Amino acid sequence: MFKKLSTSALSAAVVVAAAAATLTPTSASAACAPLSGARIAVHFDLAKGQTPENIALAPGGAAYVTFAEGRQIAEVSRTGAIRILATLPVPADGGVHTPALGFPLTVGLVRAHDGTLYFLYATGTADLTGVWRLRPGGQPQRIAALPADGLPNGLALDPHTRTLYATDSVLGTIWSVPTAGGTPTAWSTAPELASTGFLGANGLKIHNGALWATNLDKGTVLRIPILPGGQAGEVRTEATGLPGIDDFAFTGHGDQLLAALNGPSEVALVQGDGSHSIVLTPADGLQNPTSIALRGDTVYVLSAAYVTAKDPNLLLAHLDE
C-alpha cells in the first residue's frame, strides 16, 4: 500500500493481461538481465483515480484490476481498453478514518476458475471493510467483514480448499475466509507481520505449500508453511533489505521471485538464497510500482504513481531463460 502524498509508498497493483504484441510500447528499455525489452504499454488516468492496486489475469488475454483511489473493479482488454465493472459505495464519513491512509480504497484481487472475482475494500468503517465478491454480470457483495481498524491489503486464493487469505497491513495479521463467506479467522499474527509505523504485511502469494508475504516497513519476504490441518506453521524470513517491498511474483524457477519496490520505483530479482539485484528502475518508466504478474515469459509491472503523482502505467518486459 501507499501513503498518498508521502515519501512512504503504498502497495498497488494492476496489470493488463494483454499479449505484448497487441500493446504499443512508448519507452525504451533500460532493464537488466534476466529482463529485457521493457516498455510502457498502457497509461492510466490519474485524474479518474486509476491508481492500479492489484490484478487478476484472465483467459483470453484480458485482466481484472482494482483502481484503489477510484474504488473500482475494472476489466482491461488485450488492447488496453478499460471497462468499469463496479464502483464501491463511499462510506458515510467519506473514508477519512481509513487506517494509515485516510481514504477508502479497493485493494487485493483474485479470480476463481468460474470467473468470480474476490477483492478487498478498506474504508475504516464496520459496514464496508472486508472481503467482497463479484460474480460475472452481477453486483458486488460483501461476504466477510474485516476489522474496521485494520487495512486489508493483499489477497490470495487456494482453490483446492476454497480458502481466501488476506493480509492486514495495520493489524499485522493474515486472515483466512472461506470463499462462501462467513466469519474470518486470524490465521497468523506472527510478529514478523507487524508494522513498524506505517504498513506491515502486504503482498501475498501461495507457493509450494506455503503462504509467502512481504512486510513493507521491514523490507522482508516471509514464508509461512500451510500445515496438513490448514494451520500456519513457523514463519521464516527468506529475504531482507528490500525497501518499500509491495507485491511480488514467482518466476517459475524455484523460489526465485520478482518484487515491486514501491518507494524507490524499482523491481528487484530475489534469488532463492535471499540475495537480490535491481532489474528495473525509474529509467524504464516505473512510478511507484505496486504489483507484478507473469504470463509465460512476459512480466507485467503496474505503477500507481501514488507519490510521484504522474503517469500511472503498465510496463511489460520479457523474462529471459
Q: What is the CATH number of the domain that holds 251?
A: 2.120.10.30
- C-alpha cell read off for 76: 482491461
In a domain, 245, yes or no: yes
The Cα 130–Cα 145 span in angstroms is 4
In a domain, 60, yes or no: yes
317, 253, 234, 204 alpha-carbon torsion, rounded to 10°: 20
In a domain, 6, yes or no: no
Q: Give residue 108's pLDDT band: very low, low, confident or very high (50, 70, 90).
A: very high
- The tally of domains found in the chain comes to 1
In a domain, 32, yes or no: yes
* CA-atom Rg of the chain in angstroms: 17
**What pLDDT score was predicted for residue 24?**
35
pTM for the model: 0.90
**What pLDDT score was predicted for residue 303?**
93
In a domain, 5, yes or no: no
In a domain, 9, yes or no: no
**pLDDT tens-digit series, residues 45-87:** 999 999 999 988 888 888 899 999 999 999 988 888 999 999 9
Burial annotation 219-247 (CB, 10 A radius, 16+ → b, else e): bbbbbbebeeeeebeebeebbeebebbbb
- Do residues 306 and 19 touch, judged by C-beta distance below 8 A? no
**pLDDT tens-digit series, residues 78-106:** 888 999 999 999 999 999 999 999 999 99
Domain ranges, residue 115:
20-319
In a domain, 2, yes or no: no
Distances (CA, A) of 52 to 33, 74, 108, 231, 306: 26, 10, 10, 32, 10
**pLDDT tens-digit series, residues 163-206:** 999 999 999 999 999 999 999 999 999 999 999 999 999 999 99
Least trusted range by pLDDT, from 23-37, 97-111, 177-191, 284-298: 23-37
In a domain, 186, yes or no: yes
Q: What angle do CA 152, 156, 162 make, to 5 degrees?
A: 115
Least trusted range by pLDDT, from 84-88, 120-124, 315-319: 315-319
